[in-house]
Amino acid sequence: MKVKMEVDIGGLKLQNPVLTASGTFGSGQEYLPFIDLNRLGGVVVKGLTLLPKAGNPPPRLIETPSGLLNAIGLQNPGVDYFIENILPELTSYQTKFIVNISGNTPEEYGVLAQKLSVPGVAALEVNISCPNVKAGGLVFGTDPDLVAEVISVVKGHTNLPVIAKLSPNVTDIQEIARAAEEAGADAISLINTLLGMAIDVETRKPVLGNIVGGLSGPAIKPIALRMVWQVAQAVKIPIIGMGGIVSAQDALEFILAGANAIAIGTGNFINPRVTMEVIAGLEEYCQKTKTEDISHLVGLANPLKMR
């Protein structure tokens, strides 16, 4: 039986529901020794800012039980460098390339969206886990009004599908998701990393140079799964689920909870071929269960989701 693996994420048509999470896969070319990029549903490239950023002081990565703490600090060469030097190299692949953007103000997000509305970019993922310098450093993604403002500005500066990437560091994830949807987001991705830290008992100091960082990996999967399940009940737009996915079974849990697609992040560090294994595992599961279209599995564990 041939399984229909194609999915539509707010107008972004993917050959299968498996993407890579921003910040864990570079621009995709870094993984060429291990996988065939053309088999991926999509690649979400490392986050871009308007100007180049050096990132946070080291140490910037620390392994934790079943997880990884990172405080990279959005190190990147800037949007202009990406457009001029990296994007042209990506056009030979059939995989869809989605660009993650971060700004200090809503206006910066608008400029980024406009600059990246060029051939080769399939969609924009808006990282709203950034501090708003105009609001005294309040993180955009923790305030529904700021979320709506940023998404509205991005939508006003591009015709590409806009994906709002939500932070889990909030009181009510459904309220944030609804704000993104009402502002015009075409899809939602979640979750971004959870805030965490580690302390060296010998030096009696925090391990990370930035003191706190983002926790990812299998340790956060139950939280991510719960939030995807909740958001699937709150919005009608498609969802990309992520957070600790390292196997096809993990991916299936997110799809059954209401995710239309999934993204793999830290799992790529553990096993650089994990995306290929997940694609094969999803197809095998569908064949075994006589599921002709993988989209038919979306939300089956979430009866309150209106379809």
- Predicted confidence (pLDDT) per residue in 188-230, tens digit: 999 999 999 999 999 999 999 999 999 999 999 999 999 999 9
User: What pLDDT is stored for residue 207 in this prediction?
Assistant: 97
| Residue 136 pLDDT > 60 | no
For the record, the structure tokens of 15 come out as 């050959």
| Residue 133 pLDDT > 60 | no
**Angle between helices 106-115 and 144-155 in degrees, nearest 10:** 30
Which residues contact residue 75 at a Cβ distance below 8 angstroms, ignoring those fewer than 6 apart? 53, 54, 55, 56
**3-class SS of residue 218:** helix
Query: Is this prediction's pTM over 0.85?
Result: yes
- Confidence tier at 129 by pLDDT (50, 70, 90): confident
- Confidence tier at 307 by pLDDT (50, 70, 90): very low
- Confidence tier at 126 by pLDDT (50, 70, 90): very high
| Residue 240 pLDDT > 60 | yes
Q: List the one residue out of 228, 238, 224, 263 whose CA is nearest residue 7.
A: 238
- Residues carrying an active site annotation: 130
User: What pLDDT is stored for residue 142 in this prediction?
Assistant: 84
User: What pLDDT is stored for residue 304 in this prediction?
Assistant: 63
User: What pLDDT is stored for residue 134 in this prediction?
Assistant: 60
User: What pLDDT is stored for residue 172 in this prediction?
Assistant: 96
Q: In this structure, are residues 283 and 290 in contact, taking their beta carbons and an 8 Å threshold?
A: no
The tens digit of pLDDT for each residue in 20-47 reads 999 999 999 999 999 999 999 999 999 9
In this structure, of 97-101, 144-148, 243-247, 301-305, the range with the lowest mean pLDDT score is 301-305
Residue 47 parent element (H or E): strand 42-48
- Going from N- to C-terminal start, the domains of the chain cover 7-55+73-194+216-297
| Residue 135 pLDDT > 70 | no
- Confidence tier at 287 by pLDDT (50, 70, 90): very high
**Top-confidence residue, 133 or 239:** 239
User: What pLDDT is stored for residue 141 in this prediction?
Assistant: 81
Task: Report whether CATH 3.30.43.10 matches the domain 7-55+73-194+216-297.
Answer: no
List, in sequence order, every residue forming a beta bridge with 117; answer none if it has no partner. Answer: none
| Residue 138 pLDDT > 80 | no
**Bond prior to 83 in cis (omega within 30° of 0):** no
| Residue 294 pLDDT > 60 | yes
Query: CA 153 to CA 57: how far, in whole Å?
Result: 32
**Residues above pLDDT 70, as percent of the chain:** 96
